[in-house]
Amino acid sequence: MAGSLPVPAARGIRSTQIGLLVNAALAIIKLVAGLVGHAYALVADAIESTADILASIIVWSGLQIASRDPDETYPFGYGKAESLAAAVVSIMLLGAAVGIAIEAIREIRTPHHAPAPWTLAVLIAVLIVKYTLFRRISSVGVDVGSTAVQADARHHLSDAITSAAAFIGISIALIGGPGWEQADDWAALAASAVIAYNGLVMLKPALHDLMDRRPGEDVVGAVRQAAESVEGVRAVEKCNVRRAGLVFYVDIHVQADPEIPLVDAHVLSGKVKGAIRVAVPRVSGVLVHMEPYENALPA
């Protein structure tokens, strides 16, 4: 693709880059603090941040590929790369959840030192940063309509949840004293369940996009209404819309007066395309099938 990226893709990539840099710094801080402070919940948190780094790279790559123009090899564009990136990130969340759960169970069964009190301060700082990052990236994902960016935001939310669980677990271990050292490990185990849930939640819409599921009525209804508003259109028989990354493709059957010349029908189809693209700017391609208005045909 020549030239600059489309604005939605550029915004999504910028938010992903910010998240990548923040995660890299936090992963190092949490890993060191967890190992030195004997807090496995913090180590689990660091693992989650490391997974976030890879997830951000995948989202970044997916948006870069999805923003390419259609060509002879991919006439419908590369938009599915965005949905595929979202699916991969969601599966990574599930994998991280399983890994954290396995290690938490191992730590629960292994006697170890109680976490250091100063690790709580680290967790509070991490929680604030990650939740702020989640809100920012989630807002961008909704604004640009990117499933991958929203999946990336879920990764940050999962990291915040893991930090909150670690804070609770370490607090219990410190307050409880001897015999409660495994409290932070139980917190990590509980956090893994929440992370797995988030992974499943984000995997569903990604699979819907990959399977060309019909978008909501806010999109389909707007497309149909735009076509019906064009002068000369008698009826809309079929209206199929599918999503490909950040854009939509429309396949619509429009009925018109059966007596109009072919050239006029061609002009009318062009007006329908223009009206749809004005009503729904994210529509990238429109295929209009011109058909005779059935009620106008002689009995």
Q: How high does pLDDT run on average in the chain?
A: 83
Q: Taking 80 as the threshold, does the pLDDT of residue 16 lie above it?
A: no
Q: Is residue 154 part of a domain?
A: yes
For every residue of the chain, which 3-state class applies, written as one string?
Answer: CCCCCCHHHHHHHHHHHHHHHHHHHHHHHHHHHHHHCCCHHHHHHHHHHHHHHHHHHHHHHHHHHHCCCCCCCCCCCCCHHHHHHHHHHHHHHHHHHHHHHHHHHHHHCCCCCCCCCCHHHHHHHHHHHHHHHHHHHHHHHHHHCCHHHHHHHHHHHHHHHHHHHHHHHHHHHHHHCCCCCCHHHHHHHHHHHHHHHHHHHHHHHHHHHHCCCCCCHHHHHHHHHHHHCCCCEEEEEEEEEEEECCEEEEEEEEEECCCCCHHHHHHHHHHHHHHHHHHCCCEEEEEEEEEECHHHCCC
Range of the domain at 247: 217-296
Q: Do 117 and 202 have their domain in common?
A: yes
Q: What is the pLDDT of residue 97?
A: 84
pLDDT at residue 129, as a whole number: 87
Query: 182 phi and psi, to 5 degrees?
Result: -80, 0
Domain boundary among 210, 233, 264: 210
Same domain, residue pair 181 and 104: yes
Q: Specify the pLDDT at position 7.
A: 58
Both tokens of 82, joined, read 């965005």
Residue 37 resides in a domain = yes
Q: Which of 175, 210, 245 is the last residue of a domain?
A: 210
For 213, phi then psi, to 5°, come to -65, 145
Question: What's the N-to-C CA distance of the chain in angstroms?
Answer: 53
Any residues with CB less than 8 A from the CB of 224 and at least 6 apart, and which?
236, 239, 252
Residue 1 forms part of a structural domain? no
Q: Which amino acid is at 106?
A: R
Q: Taking Cα atoms as reference points, which of 157, 159, 185 lies closest to residue 172?
A: 185
Q: What is the CATH number of the domain that holds 276?
A: 3.30.70.1350
Residue 298, pLDDT above cutoff 60: no
Return phi, psi of residue 92, to 5°: -65, -40
Higher-confidence position of 175 and 252: 252
Q: What is the mean pLDDT of residues 84-92?
A: 86
CATH code, domain with 159: 1.20.1510.10
Domain boundary among 210, 241, 256: 210
What is the spatial distance between Cα 104 and Cα 210, in angstroms, rounded to a whole number?
A: 34
Q: How confident is the model at residue 116, as a pLDDT?
A: 78
Q: What is the mean pLDDT of residues 101-109?
A: 83
Rounded Cα distance between 141 and 119, Å, is 32
In the predicted model, what is the mean pLDDT of residues 41-59?
Answer: 75
Judged against a pLDDT cut of 90, whether residue 114 lies above it is answered with no
Model pTM score: 0.71
pLDDT score recorded for residue 3: 44
pLDDT single digits (tens) 172-197 = 888 887 778 778 778 878 888 888 88
Q: Does some domain include residue 185?
A: yes
Q: How many Cα atoms occupy the beta-carbon half-sphere of 224 within 13 Å?
A: 14
The number of distinct structural domains making up the chain is 2
Per-residue model confidence as pLDDT tens digits over 205-240: 888 888 888 988 989 999 999 999 999 999 998 999
**Number of residues written out for the chain:** 299
Residue 149: what pLDDT? 80
